Amino acid sequence: MTPPPPVDLRSDTLTRPTPAMRHAMAEAAVGDDVFGEDPTVNALQERVAALFGHEAALFVPSGTMANQIALQTWCRHGDDVVAGQGAHVWFYEAGAAAALAGVQVSLVGDGLLTPEDLLAAIKPDNHQTAPTTLAWVENTHNRSGGRILPLATLQRLHQTTQAHGLRLHMDGARLFNAIVATQTDPAAWGASVDALSICLSKGLGCPVGSVLVGSRAWIWRAHRARKMLGGAMRQAGILAAAGLYALEHHVERLAEDHRRARAFASEAAHLPAVTLRLEDVQTNIVAFGIDPARMSADDFVARAAQRGLLGYAIAPTRVRLVFHLDIDDDSLQRAVDITRELLA
């Protein structure tokens, strides 16, 4: 008998398009988006802009490109950007913030930026410092395990940036997870930032794509920056169709990923070798510490893989598991059983 395929919790990017999504892609009306003539791309952009209550949106190939476009569009070379500790834009983008946008990123706090941390990090206006022009928030916060930056905090951050002449940008790769978990209106989040991005290829299950959202004037500049980075695409409606499908069918179901993440966490939290605070498991990611006297995170990942559970070591003593569209309750149970077998 062939063993079942492994339970793959390395990331929520591992999802494969469903048959219905593939059907929507195959049927999509397309045109040349460099000419602005792809009706499906245009529909996606209008849909996402309207959802967040902004004037315009831009479909881009990846979250990294969305972030780099945002930095280039908000900042000049030599500017200072204040972001929460561990921000994707600083850690996971191959140094592009420095190499391409030419900005310095000042990291503060524990990941979820607060107005107090931001205020303390704004550089004084003198000849020795880089001008702080942009505050950067990530929601949910990836490296700290999918924690949510609360809407109320974002609103206070926005007041702070407005009072100090800064811009506020939100890397919302997993913003829909935060929206579903808090049952809030996307427009309320949109109203609390100058611009934001969302990702279609993580929890929403699309093969490709992110969307930037902002004012018409800002999106115009982002459009040029996308061209500069080589991100202009032609009959991209095939990809945008997946996005439209996902917005219709894959947003509310994120609650299932959250339920499974919590169920896993409440089992794992009992294991003596595991350090895990249940209040930190707020969306679809479970990040937990392993007692190094028991085994390293790399050892856990290797041994779990032999038993059919794939995870990701995010630090020498820390593992991350991400729940997504392709994980059902049977997979959840196998993940719990394997983790228990290794760490009980």
Ligand X SMILES: *Cc1c(COP(=O)(O)O)cnc(C)c1O
**For residues 210 and 283, which CB has a smaller minimum distance to ligand X in the complex?**
210
**For residues 261 and 273, which CB has a smaller minimum distance to ligand X in the complex?**
261
Rounded least distance, CB 171 to ligand X, Å? 5
Nearest to 325 by CA among 141, 201, 210, 209: 201
**For residues 192 and 339, which CB has a smaller minimum distance to ligand X in the complex?**
192
Rounded least distance, CB 138 to ligand X, Å? 5
Report whether 223 contacts 70 (CB < 8 A).
no
Rounded least distance, CB 243 to ligand X, Å? 13
Strand partners, 326: none
Rounded least distance, CB 146 to ligand X, Å? 9
Rounded least distance, CB 291 to ligand X, Å? 28
Dmax over Cα atoms in the chain, in whole Å? 71
Rounded least distance, CB 209 to ligand X, Å? 8
Residue 187's contacts (CB-CB under 8 Å, 6 or more residues apart) are 51, 52, 53
Chain positions contacting ligand X, by CB under 6 A: 62-64, 67, 88, 138, 142, 171, 173, 199, 201, 210
Rounded least distance, CB 300 to ligand X, Å? 22
Rounded least distance, CB 66 to ligand X, Å? 7
Interstrand relation of 210-214 and 195-199 (parallel, antiparallel or unpaired): antiparallel
**For residues 236 and 342, which CB has a smaller minimum distance to ligand X in the complex?**
236
**For residues 91 and 299, which CB has a smaller minimum distance to ligand X in the complex?**
91
**For residues 190 and 203, which CB has a smaller minimum distance to ligand X in the complex?**
203
The total of other beta-carbon atoms located within 10 Å of residue 39's CB is 14
Rounded least distance, CB 114 to ligand X, Å? 18
**For residues 62 and 184, which CB has a smaller minimum distance to ligand X in the complex?**
62
Q: Which residue is nearest to ligand X (CB)?
A: 63
**For residues 117 and 171, which CB has a smaller minimum distance to ligand X in the complex?**
171
**For residues 146 and 190, which CB has a smaller minimum distance to ligand X in the complex?**
146
